[in-house]
Amino acid sequence: GAGVSQSPRYKVAKRGQDVALRCDPISGHVSLFWYQQALGQGPEFLTYFQNEAQLDKSGLPSDRFFAERPEGSVSTLKIQRTQQEDSAVYLCASSSPREVEKLFFGSGTQLSVL
């Protein structure tokens, strides 16, 4: 595709619901990152994939957060039993093996937990 695509663009969940956020990276991009961005803050690292392997998940805030990338392309970030503090914009970024230091970001999914 032309860029990193994230869906849905907006998600409203009731506290306690499970949500799934999708990221479709640029074709051929090996590295994929998830970030959480609170209002007025910079992106905070959540997790990193290289192909289908999740090499770093040290930023996931609790065991309610789970990410996968089973075929090394599309990735899903799942949040179970959402809490109000999970409200944020979730950003996905990918990079090419030929230009590993250039991240391409999606527009993000804005999650609001009521």
Partner 1 sequence: GNSVTQMEGPVTLSEEAFLTINCTYTATGYPSLFWYVQYPGEGLQLLLKATKADDKGSNKGFEATYRKETTSFHLEKGSVQVSDSAVYFCALRSGTSGTYKYIFGTGTRLKVLA
Binding site for partner 1 (CB under 8 A): 3-4, 31, 33, 35, 40-45, 48, 50, 55-56, 58, 91, 93, 100-108
Report the residue number, 47 or 82, with the smaller CB distance to partner 1: 47
Non-local (6+) Cβ contacts of 8 within 8 A are: 21, 22, 109
The CA–CA distances, whole Å, from 12 to 7, 8, 15, 17, 96 equal 13, 10, 10, 10, 32
Report the residue number, 55 or 114, with the smaller CB distance to partner 1: 55
Give min distance, CB of 18 to partner 1, in A: 26
